[in-house]
């Protein structure tokens, strides 16, 4: 008798759960993702379950296109975890340059750097033909250093609050403060007979200071406060003869891993867990970049009419939620990432707490222009 009673109770519970959550269940999963993506745009905009923004931003040679993602989440997934951060280093004022990052200045030696922070977590080729050495503690206290052939620092970057200056600037300051402190930014950089015009649309400014090019990036979603800083020595900049780097398999892989690392460094700032690199979806992302570069188009939908989710399914990628970011025209993963963070749809993908993994695919067109595809997913 008790078994019958328990069975009846179980049936009642199942019916109640189906009544409450059946509609959500029907809309989730692989098939639901594909159907939501193919829905008419006006219908999508009325559906709060799908984050559907498709933004196109034209900034001279920089083009961004927004994200398409299926955003079914359990309530538990929407709660941002409390990630304990390691201690921030005790920052000192620079002794030679106007700027230092993690107490490191242009001209310091690799030995001096690694006596402070240890060995790099990753080394990857950048557009200047040298390696970015990425240092971090599970993406906290993240910064990158480039060295010349004599192991002297010729490049620095961070998107975390590791900046020290002799001119009283910090990550709490806005673009207005930067301009009032440093004056008029550069309008272009000459390389040989060509003057490459800087068209930043106020998302970053570049200054010539201390025999270096200082680029300060701003967060449009945080009152235009400083969000990242890149320092490149004039010596290193002069060695790059054109706007884009020289394509190679090593540069392609370098840009892919750099964009992955930059994404995780941004996530930990916002209290989110780091994403795992998912090798299974790397070819999907890379092949879409190749397709765009070779066939001269820029869209989430390829000429065969396939969506990002169709491409993942075709490559037998298993996922329960996924998203895609695209970028093209940026000279580096740094500029691509900072631009993506200033676009609402891209930013939502980068900071989506439901995502667990990411892979990046890069390809170059005949003009050496890189195309970037980010595929986010959770399984």
pLDDT band at 87 (very low <50, low <70, confident <90, very high): confident
Tell me the pLDDT tens digit for each residue of 120-160.
999 999 999 999 999 999 999 999 999 999 999 999 999 99
Confidence class for position 191, pLDDT limits 50, 70, 90: confident
DSSP bridge pairs for 174: 225
Mean pLDDT of 255-274: 98
Helix axes 2-27, 29-38, angle to 10 degrees: 30
Q: What is the DSSP letter of 43?
A: H
pLDDT digits (tens, 9 = 90+) for 218-250: 999 999 999 999 999 999 999 999 999 999 999
Average pLDDT score, the chain:
83
pLDDT at residue 29 tops 50: no
Residues with Cβ within 8 Å of residue 340, at least 6 apart in sequence: 64, 325, 327, 346, 347, 350, 374
User: Are 308 and 376 a contacting pair, CB within 8 Å?
Assistant: no
Where are any strands of DSSP class E within the chain?
50-51, 56-59, 62-70, 99-101, 122-125, 131-137, 140-147, 153-158, 163-165, 188-191, 194-197, 204-209, 212-219, 225-233, 276-277, 321-328, 357-364, 370-378
Beta bridge partners of 158: 229
Segment among 9-23, 48-62, 269-283 with least mean pLDDT? 48-62
Residue 301: burial class (beta carbons within 10 Å; 0-12, 13-18, 19+): middle
C-alpha 359/C-alpha 21 separation (Å) is 32
Q: What's residue 153's pLDDT?
A: 98
Tell me the per-residue pLDDT of 290-299, one tens digit each, with 9 for 90 and over: 999 999 999 9
Tell me the C-alpha distance between 343 and 225, whole Å. 15
CA angle 361/366/370 to nearest 5° reads 30
Q: Do 246 and 55 contact (CB within 8 A), yes or no? A: no
Q: Is the pLDDT of residue 76 over 60?
A: no
How high is the pLDDT of residue 93?
84
The yes-or-no verdict on residue 272 having pLDDT over 50 is yes
Q: Express each pLDDT in 315-331 by its tens digit.
A: 999 999 999 999 999 99
pLDDT value at 22 more than 60? no
SS3 333: helix
Domains and CATH numbers, the chain: 1-71 (no CATH), 99-239 (3.40.33.10), 249-378 (3.40.33.10)
Note the pLDDT tens digit of each residue in 95-121. Answer: 899 999 999 999 999 999 999 999 999
Residue 69 scores a pLDDT above 60: no
């Amino acid at each position: 008798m008790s078994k019958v009673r328990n069975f009846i109770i179980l049936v009642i519970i199942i019916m109640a759960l189906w009544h409450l959550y059946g509609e959500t269940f029907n809309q989730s999963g692989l098939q639901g993702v594909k159907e939501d993506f193919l829905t008419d745009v006006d219908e999508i905009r009325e559906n709060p379950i799908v984050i559907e923004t498709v933004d196109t931003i034209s900034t001279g040679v920089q083009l961004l296109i927004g994200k398409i993602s299926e955003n079914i989440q359990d309530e538990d997934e929407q709660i941002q975890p409390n990630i304990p951060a390691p201690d921030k280093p005790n920052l000192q004022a620079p002794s030679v340059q106007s700027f230092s990052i993690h107490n490191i200045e242009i001209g310091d030696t690799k030995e001096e750097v690694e006596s402070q922070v240890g060995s790099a977590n990753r080394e990857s080729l950048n557009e200047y033909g040298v390696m970015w050495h990425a240092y971090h503690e599970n993406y906290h206290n993240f910064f990158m250093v480039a060295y010349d052939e004599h192991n002297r620092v010729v490049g620095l970057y961070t998107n975390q609050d590791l900046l020290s200056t002799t001119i009283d600037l910090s990550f709490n300051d806005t673009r207005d403060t930067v301009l009032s402190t440093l004056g008029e930014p550069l309008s272009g950089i000459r390389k040989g007979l060509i003057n490459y015009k800087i068209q930043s649309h106020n998302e970053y400014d570049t200054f010539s200071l201390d025999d270096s090019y200082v680029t300060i990036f701003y967060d449009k979603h945080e009152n235009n406060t400083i969000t990242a800083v890149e320092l490149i020595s004039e010596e290193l900049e002069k060695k790059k003869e054109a706007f884009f780097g020289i394509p190679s398999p090593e540069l392609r892989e370098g840009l892919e891993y750099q964009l992955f690392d930059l994404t995780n460094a941004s996530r930990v700032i916002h209290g989110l867990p780091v994403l795992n690199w998912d090798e299974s979806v790397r070819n999907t992302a890379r092949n879409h970049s190749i397709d765009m570069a070779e066939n001269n188009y820029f869209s989430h939908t390829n000429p065969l009419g396939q969506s990002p989710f169709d491409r993942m399914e075709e490559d037998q990628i298993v996922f329960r939620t996924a998203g895609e970011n695209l970028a093209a025209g940026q000279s580096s993963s740094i500029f691509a990432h900072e631009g993506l963070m200033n676009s609402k749809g891209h930013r939502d993908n980068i900071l989506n707490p439901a995502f667990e993994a990411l892979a990046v695919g890069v390809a170059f067109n005949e003009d050496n222009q890189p195309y970037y595809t980010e595929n986010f997913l959770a399984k």
